[in-house]
Amino acid sequence: EEAETKPTCIIGTTTHEGEQDKNEAGEGNGSVPCGHDTIGKDQPPHPPKSVLEIGCGDVPLGYSLFLDLLSMEKETQADASLVVSRIVCNDYAKMVVDILRDRQRKRWLASGIKGSYEIVDGRDGMKIENVVVDSDSLNPSQEHDRGAIVPKLDVSYVVEDARKMAHSDESFDLVIDKGTLDALLSDKDMGIKNCVDVVSEMGRVLRVGGYIMIISHMNANIQSGLEWCDEVVVAGLRASG
């Protein structure tokens, strides 16, 4: 019997100022690393992936991924939803999610898209909100902005505690954290425990063979960073089972 592939955890430190400027100018590596040049219009090389970003804030990476996928579709004529079928961005703050959804509604309105959220049952009696877009709602004669040209794919923005999420086990192929663990560590009393709980949940919802991407100010190449990896990341993944 073939052994299960263990989840992979990628820990990235923040870029230097010059590198960040290049990325913001579009000169860095901002493309989707999915080999899309070889994707056919109807048959993807792999099943479409599901992506979760925890603690997304008001500038979510998930939305940038969404735009990159749509750009890829324009260049290759491949259906973006065959590469990534689901993008979820959660945040503990309802105010943040309200801002993101308001931007989304304005984009839908400007592009003639009919979008809404459906509520389905999650684990332990919790509820999950998924974005739903009417694939027949686009007006072909209307000029669309870059973020609204493909109605089959959009981002679900949800209010959620990353320490206890409603998603079932093994729901996502990629789970991203950009600074949430860093922010939680500012709590001297509960910081480590909260971080371990978050990483444990990230591991729980990750599919076998999936990836966890942690973007942090912590430097994993020095002793304090190695200790953080052991106390938070390793401990959290062990707790996830």
Indicate if the pLDDT at residue 35 is higher than 70: no
User: By percentage, how much of the chain surpasses pLDDT 90?
Assistant: 57
- Looking up tokens 């931007």 gives 103
Q: In terms of pLDDT, which residue wins out, 21 or 233? A: 233
Question: For residue 79, what pLDDT is reported?
Answer: 84
Measuring CA to CA, how many Å separate 198 from each of 24, 193, 228? 29, 9, 14
Question: For residue 180, what pLDDT is reported?
Answer: 96
Indicate if the pLDDT at residue 239 is higher than 50: yes
- Kindly list the strands in the beta sheet with 155-159, ordered across the sheet, starting from the edge strand earlier in the chain: 8-13, 206-216, 172-178, 49-54, 84-91, 155-159
Indicate if the pLDDT at residue 189 is higher than 50: yes
Question: For residue 143, what pLDDT is reported?
Answer: 46
Indicate if the pLDDT at residue 14 is higher than 50: no
Question: Are 215 and 177 contacting, i.e. CB atoms less than 8 angstroms apart?
Answer: yes
- Looking up tokens 């309802």 gives 94
Give the integer Cα–Cα distance in Å for 175 and 160. Answer: 14
The chain-wide mean pLDDT, for the chain, equals 81
- Work out whether strand 172-178 and strand 49-54 pair parallel, antiparallel, or are unpaired: parallel
pTM metric for this prediction: 0.78
